[in-house]
A and B are shown apart, each in its own frame.
Chain A
C-alpha cells in the first residue's frame, strides 16, 4: 500500500467532498414524533415483559409486537416522506450535558436526539418494515413455545428494534454506542434463547465475547473523536472534519493530524466485530443456534449491517484517513471470498446462509471502500430482503421437518403438498443471492463490482477479481442448497425435534447434525429410505402467517430491483445516500466524468479503471451475469442432474479429487481451531499460571501473615496465666523497663 497509489483515491474523494452535499448544509429542527419510532418498540418490550410476568399463554405478545412495530414502520415511512433529503435533529430528551470548564472540548453533550437524513430514513425503512414482517412470521414459528419462552422472545425482539433504532437514529456517537451495545445484548439473549441447549449458550457467549473486541475499538474511537473534535455529535464532528477534507483535496495529506487518521481505524474494527468481518466473523455462523426469525432479522438483515451503517454515517471521518478505506476494502473482499469457500462445503442450510451473509457483508464493506457507499447501501437494502426471505424459507423447512437442516437428508421440498410458496420464495431468494440478471441482488452487487474496477486504489483491481470469483462461488453454493433441498426426488428424513409429541421440543434438543446421530441411534439406520417412514412423521406445511410473510418478502425482494431504475446513476438508493453524510462522487458515470473534468488526477495516470478495455459499469452486467450463470450451471450438474436420492450427488465423486482441501473447507479452514490455538489455549495456559501464582504467591503471603501472629500467640499464650500477681508483676517489670529506658535516654 504505497501512498502513491492512494493519492488518486483521495483526490477522487476530495472531488466528492466538493459537491455541496447535505452534510455541509444547515441543520433543521425535526418534528417531535420521530421519537415515537424509538419509543414504540420500547413500549412493546415493556408490555411483553409484563405479559411474561403475567404468564400469558396466548399469541398476544406476538400481535402486540406486530402492531407496535407496524406503527413504528408507518412512522418511519412518514419520516421518509417528510424529512428525507434534508438534515434535521430532534432532541427529545436532554440526556447528558456535562461541563467541567468553559473552554473548547470541556463540555460533553449527548442528547437523546435523532439525526434524520436520507441515510437514516433508508435504514429505518427496512429495519422497521422487516421487523414487522418477521414478528408476524415468528408469531407462528415460535408457537410451540407459547407460555414457555414466547413472551421472552418478543420482549427481546422489541428491545432489539429499540436498540437498532437508537443506533441508526441517534444524533451522536454515544447514543449510537448505546444502541450498538443494546443490539449486541439482544443478539446474545436471542442466540441463547434455547438456553437449555449447551450449543446455543456457547454460541451466545461467543457472539458476545467476540463483539467485545469490536465494541472496545468503537468505544475508544468515540473517546478519541471527543478528545479531538470536542464533541460526540455528528453535526459538530462533520463540520470540524471539513477542513481536513479540504486539506486532502488540495493534496496536503500531512495537514491531517494523526489522531484523526486513527479514529476511522478504530471505528472500522468496531464495524468488523458487529458485521462479522475478518478476523472477527467467527461468531456469526454459530449465532444460527438462535431461532430462525432472529437469524433472519438480526443476523442477516439488520444488526449485522450496523457496521456498514457506522462507516457510511461517519464517512466524512473515513475520508480523512489514507489507510482506513483501503484496509476496509481488503478485509471486505477477503472475507467475502473466505466465507463463500466455507459456505460451499457446509451441509447445514442455515449455516450456509450464515456464511453467505458474512460473504455479502464483505461485499458491502468492499463497496464502502471502493467509494461506492451508494452501492454498499443498495446492497444492504436488497440483501436485507432476499436474505430474510432465504432464512425464513430455511426456518419454514426446519419448522416443518422437526429441525432438519441437513441438505443431504431433504430433497424435493418445493413439490410437497403445501410447500409451494416456500419453494417459490426460496427460488426468488436464491436468484437474488446468486445475482441472476434483472434481480435486485444482481444490480446492487454490480454497483460494487463495477466500482472495484473504476476506483483506482491500492490493489483494488485485484480485489475486483476476487469479488467476481466470489460471485461465481456464491451462485454455486446458493443453488447447491436449492437443487438439493427444494427440487429433485421427494424424500426426507425428519430432524430430532418431534414437537408434535413433545411440548418442550425446542428446549430439549439440538438442530444440527450432531443431533442426527442421536436420532439414528434411537430409530436404527433402517429408517432412512422412504418419506413418512418409521415413526409416523408427517412434515407440517407452513400456516398462513409464514406463507403470507414469505410472499410479501419474496415480492419485496423482486421489487427491490425497481429503485435501481428510479432516477439516474443507480436510482433511488444512491440518491438517498448522496443526500446524506455518506456521499461520494464516484458512483455513476456522470459523477466520474465530473471527476475527470476536475483534473485532480495525477498526470499520466489513468483515473478511470477499465475492465477488458471497456467501461466497467457497462460490461459488468455481462461479466457478472455470465459468472453467476456458470456457478448455477455447475451447481445444476453436480447437485441436480441425475440425482436419485437426497444423500448423494455427483459432487461426492469430486470430493476425493480435491484431497484434504474439501475437508479443510468443511471444517471452516480450521479458523476456529486456529483461534483456539492462538487465543484460547494461551489464555487458558496463562489463566492457569495466574491461578497458580494466585494460589501459591498471593494466597501464600496472605496465609503467612495470618500464620505469623497465630504462631506468636501460641508461644505467648502461657504468659496469660490467669494469676493476678503474674499480671501485676508483668506490669511492674514493664513499668520499670520503661522508666529505665526513659532514664537512659534522657540522661
Chain B
C-alpha cells in the first residue's frame, strides 16, 4: 500500500491553492515532476530484471500520469481529471493485487524473480 501512500502527497499538492495564489509553484512544476517520475519509471523498467521492481516502475509511470492529470484538472478548474485519477487508483490497486499474485506464481515456476527466465514467446 506504499504506492497509495506515495500518491497521497500528490493529491494534497493538487488541492493546495487556487491558481491565482499559486505564486511560485506553477503548472509547469507539476508537469516537470510528472515527467521526471515517468522517466524514472521507464528507465527502471528497462534496466531492472526483478519482476517486482519492474512492476513497481509501471506503478510509478501510472502515478506520474496521475499527477499530470490532477495538475491539469486544477489548472482548468475542472473536476474531470481528478475524478479520473480516482478511477485510475482503483484500477491500479486491483492490478497490484493481481500482478503480485502472478509474480508469486512465476517465482514458484522458476525459483527466480528474473524477467530473463521467461522467453517462451520468442518468434
Contact = CB atoms under 8 A, between A and B. Distances in A.
Tell me if chain B binds chain A.
yes
Interface of A: 717-725, 728-729, 732
Contacts of B46: 725, 728-729, 732
A719 B122 CA distance: 9
Contact of B123 (A717, A724, A728, A729): A717
B119 A721 contact: yes
A728 B119 contact: no
Contacts of B54: 724
B23 interface: no
Contact of A722 (B42, B45, B49, B123): B123
Nearest to B115: A724
A422 to B, nearest CB: 85
Nearest to B58: A728
B37 to A, nearest CB: 15
B87 interface: no
Contacts of A724: 54, 115, 118
Contacts of B118: 722, 724
B42 A732 contact: yes
Interface of B: 42, 45-46, 49, 54, 115-116, 118-123
A721 B45 contact: no
Contact of A721 (B42, B115, B122): B122
16 contacts: A720-B121, A720-B123, A721-B119, A721-B122, A721-B123, A722-B118, A722-B123, A723-B115, A723-B119, A724-B54, A725-B46, A725-B49, A725-B115, A725-B116, A728-B46, A732-B42
Given A721-B122, A722-B120, A724-B54, 4 more contacts: A722-B122, A725-B116, A729-B46, A732-B42
Nearest to B42: A732
Contacts of B116: 723, 725
Contacts of A721: 119, 122-123
A411 to B, nearest CB: 87
B39 to A, nearest CB: 10
Contacts of A719: 123
Contacts of B119: 721-723
Nearest to B49: A725
B115 A722 contact: no
A136 B119 CA distance: 85
A239 B33 CA distance: 94
A720 B123 CA distance: 5
A725 B46 CA distance: 6
A719 B121 CA distance: 11
The 4 A-B residue pairs with the shortest CB-CB distance in the complex, in nearest-first order: A720-B123, A722-B122, A722-B119, A722-B121
A739 B77 CA distance: 27
A194 B49 CA distance: 81
Nearest to A713: B123
Contacts of A723: 115-116, 119, 122
